[in-house]
């Protein structure tokens, strides 16, 4: 059984989807891939996991730089999960490039090269916005590119992490 609830952030309204054990997704309403890989009917009701997620988001938007203490269980392919795991290691307030992640994945698989475009595709399908920080991935030329919720929200999140306010 999946439970859903809304969260109003300074960047826009978010949908939180959980089960009794883990967080399945956090999406900005109207973002690309909204509720992707969530096929079950959603019951709009808070539970322990959704409240825990809302508390984490409150701490994040209060600039407390919270550690991720939530059991995350995003639905995706093995490759996507590998990429999302690397995203989770990007420190608060820092950025990395799609090419850097591609190099790390290539090294993990003992191959010479991995496509940054394949990484971008996996990053764009991250179902747990903000908590798995896909907003911290930028283009190799240090430009803001690709964010499922839009570049304006990506910029707001990066500016917030740098300056402490939205």
Active-site residue numbers? 134
Residues 6 or more apart whose CB falls under 8 angstroms from that of 128 comprise: 23, 24, 25, 26, 72, 74, 84
Q: Which residues, 6 or more positions from 48, have their beta carbon under 8 angstroms from its beta carbon?
A: 20
Cα torsion 140, 146, 150, 156 to 10°: value is -30
Exposed, middle or buried: residue 110 (CB in 10 Å: 0-12, 13-18, 19+)? exposed
Strands (E), the chain: 2-9, 12-18, 23-28, 42-44, 96-97, 137-138
């Amino acid at each position: 059984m999946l439970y859903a609830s809304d969260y109003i952030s300074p960047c826009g309204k978010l949908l939180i989807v959980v089960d009794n054990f883990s967080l399945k997704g956090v999406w900005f309403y109207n973002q690309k891939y909204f509720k992707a890989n969530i096929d079950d009917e959603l019951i709009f009701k808070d539970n322990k996991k959704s409240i825990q997620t809302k508390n984490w988001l409150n701490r994040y938007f209060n600039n407390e730089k919270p550690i991720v203490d939530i059991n995350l269980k995003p639905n995706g392919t093995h490759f996507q999960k590998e990429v999302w795991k690397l995203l989770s290691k990007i420190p608060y307030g820092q950025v990395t490039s799609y090419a850097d992640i591609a190099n790390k994945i290539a090294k993990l698989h003992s191959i010479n090269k991995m496509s940054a475009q394949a990484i971008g595709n996996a990053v764009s399908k991250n179902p747990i916005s903000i908590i798995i920080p896909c907003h911290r991935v930028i283009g190799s030329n240090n430009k803001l590119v690709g964010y499922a919720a839009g570049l304006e929200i990506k910029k707001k999140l990066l500016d917030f992490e740098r300056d402490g306010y939205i």
